[in-house]
């Protein structure tokens, strides 16, 4: 598609429950990025993929967070045993990939999934 | 490590007035710089970007930004603000190489527009 799609729009989980978020990148984009926005304005990079391969996972809290991008399926971000501090908006972005001059590197963001952990 | 500072948390302007939102970055090489806008409850919309070349870049909705390497700044400007510009604005710096794509965002500047 022409836009990054994220589902669900809202997700409410009790502490300790699992949460799974989905992202469909723009068609033709080979890179996918996940960001976490907490306290309304602080963005934190979580992980990026180049096609189905993890490219950079330096931002992932590895104990409870996992992510996948499988061929012909939306990418997913899963949180096992959610905690109160996981409450945030999770954004997915996609880009075409690196290039000389950088124009393919622009990241286009989806509308986000708002996760509330009670 | 790269970093971005937006010194102004909240700016209020009157409709029709000019606007400048400040952004300072720290990055070891030539940065990729972006301005995004976020309306309440919405995702991020790209306003403009700088990769190389002309240091004055034009974006959507009448916005422009100027890259000043000597000042490590990438300030966003608009000559005449409209009420619909009220939103939160984020400056971001992107990396290349093995850190490709990892955007670092500033803290955001909330813009309020008075009629």
Q: Which residue has the higher pLDDT, A4 or B51?
A: A4
Task: Report yes or no: B28 at the A interface, CB cutoff 8 Å.
Answer: no
Query: A45 and B102 in contact by Cβ < 8 A?
Result: yes
Provide the token pair at A91: 């954004």
Digit-coded pLDDT (tens) for B64-102:
999 999 999 999 999 999 999 999 999 999 876 656 778
pLDDT at B31 over 90: no
Q: Which residues of chain A lie closer than 8 angstroms to B52, CB-CB? A: 101-102
Both tokens of A94, joined, read 């996609």
Strands (DSSP E) along A8-96, which ranges? Answer: 10-13, 19-24, 31-38, 42-50, 53-56, 65-68, 75-79, 88-95
């Amino acid at each position: 598609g022409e836009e990054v799609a994220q589902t669900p729009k809202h997700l409410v989980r009790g502490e300790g429950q699992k949460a799974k978020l989905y992202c469909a990148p723009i068609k033709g984009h080979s890179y996918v990025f996940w960001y976490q926005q907490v306290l309304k304005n602080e963005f934190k990079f979580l992980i990026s993929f180049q096609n189905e391969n993890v490219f950079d996972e330096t931002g992932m809290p590895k104990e409870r967070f996992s992510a996948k991008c499988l061929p012909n399926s939306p990418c997913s971000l899963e949180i096992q045993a959610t905690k109160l501090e996981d409450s945030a908006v999770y954004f997915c972005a996609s880009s075409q990939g690196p290039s000389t001059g950088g124009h393919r590197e622009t990241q286009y963001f989806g509308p986000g999934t708002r996760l509330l952990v009670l | 490590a790269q970093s971005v500072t937006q010194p102004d948390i909240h700016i209020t302007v009157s409709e029709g007035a000019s606007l400048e939102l400040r952004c300072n970055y720290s990055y070891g090489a030539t940065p990729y710089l972006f301005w995004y806008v976020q309306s309440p409850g919405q995702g991020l919309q790209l306003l403009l970007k700088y990769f190389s070349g002309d240091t004055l870049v034009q974006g959507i909705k009448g916005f422009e930004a100027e890259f000043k390497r000597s000042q490590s700044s990438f300030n966003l400007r608009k000559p005449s603000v409209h009420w619909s510009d009220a939103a939160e604005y984020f400056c971001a710096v992107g990396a290349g190489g093995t850190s490709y794509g990892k955007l670092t965002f500033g803290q955001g500047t909330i813009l309020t527009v008075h009629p």
